[in-house]
Amino acid sequence: MIMKKKTYTILLCVVTVIMIFMGSKIYFEREAERKINIIADFYKNFVSFEYEKLSVNPFRQDIIVKKVSLSSLFTNTKLYISEIIVTDFDYYSTTPKFADISVRGIMIEGKNGHKDLKRYGIDADIAYRYDEKKRLLSVNRFSIKENKLGKIDFRASFGNITLDNTWFLLLFFTYPSIVIHDASFYFENKSAMDLLYQYLGTVISSTPSETKLKLVDYVEQISNKILSEEKFDFFIKIKNFLDDPDKLLITISPESPITVRELQKIRFQQDFFKRLNLKAVD
């Protein structure tokens, strides 16, 4: 009799756990669908958004959207995306103040369809946060990666920014007042530079190898215009990368924040590298 009661108790607990799990799963999926519709509404004036499958990671609460298609309302361009992972997003502001989104398998539809681009399944990640009181935009991660081409990773902090619906429209007029706190650009090459030299070669009617030499020479000409000891190491790293592209990290970390307007004024002046604390690492 005691064993039967224990068995019934265990079965009841198991059934309860399953019911809770199933109920939570349904709730989270409905909530995820509501949140995805909110994100789609943010960009409804620019693109139409469709997807085939939606799920939620039960442990991290990430929203996973699969087989997504985006159609531009202004051009005939279409994007096909294998998977979008929404880790975090500001669903309640008119303009999202933070986001952490990963996009996997981006393919662009061209004139002949997107089949030829399947070998270039691009992955992208964006994570940013905006402090409204400090008017500070922190781009914690913006990366683009393709296994055969390479990877780009950008991080930065910008001040004096008002992030609202009109910001993008006014950016052309207000960008000189933007304050740069720090920035870094990392590039890991696989075959992207070969494609770049090939493309530039067709533009200037040169072979890829000739294009590379011309680009190195152009960098040398820029270097000669800057009278600064710090420039030598920087441009050596740049020329080494252009000659044998592998990895390159460029960092800007000024002792005090600098505006874009001030940056434009000191370009090619002697204190350019010192003011920006501009460095390159290969």
pLDDT classification of 24: cutoffs 50, 70, 90: very low
Report the chain's mean pLDDT, rounded to a whole number: 79
Q: How far is CA 197 from CA 23, 138, 140, 185, 191, in A?
A: 56, 33, 31, 20, 10
Q: How far is CA 28 from CA 33, 36, 50, 193, in A?
A: 9, 12, 20, 44
What CA–CA distance (Å, rounded) separates 125 from 101? Answer: 6
Q: Which neighbouring-strand residues pair with 136?
A: 131
Residue 17: pLDDT over 50:
no
Check residues 36 and 229 and name the one with the higher pLDDT. 36
pLDDT classification of 186: cutoffs 50, 70, 90: very high
Binning the chain into helix, strand and coil, the percentages to the nearest 5 are 40, 35, 25
What CA–CA distance (Å, rounded) separates 250 from 238? Answer: 9
Q: Which whole number is the average pLDDT over 100-121?
A: 67
List the structure tokens of 192: 């992207």
Q: Which of 23-27, 72-76, 269-273 has the lowest mean pLDDT?
A: 23-27
What CA–CA distance (Å, rounded) separates 85 from 82? Answer: 10
Residue 139: pLDDT over 90:
yes
What CA–CA distance (Å, rounded) separates 138 from 247? Answer: 24
Determine the residue type at 222.
I
Instruction: State the chain's maximal CA–CA distance in angstroms.
Output: 94
Helix axes 208-224, 192-204, angle to 10 degrees: 90
Check residues 59 and 56 and name the one with the higher pLDDT. 56
The residues, ordered by sequence, that sit 6+ positions from 204 with a Cβ below 8 Å of its Cβ are: 211, 214
| Most confident by average pLDDT, 13-27, 87-101, 133-147 | 133-147
Contact 254, 182 (CB under 8 A): yes
123, containing H or E segment: strand 122-131
What CA–CA distance (Å, rounded) separates 257 from 177? Answer: 12
Burial of 224 (0-12, 13-18, 19+ CB in 10 A): exposed
Check residues 269 and 82 and name the one with the higher pLDDT. 82
Residue 31: pLDDT over 80:
no
What is the residue whose two structure tokens read 């469709």?
Answer: 50
41, containing H or E segment: helix 2-42
| Most confident by average pLDDT, 108-122, 161-175, 229-243 | 229-243
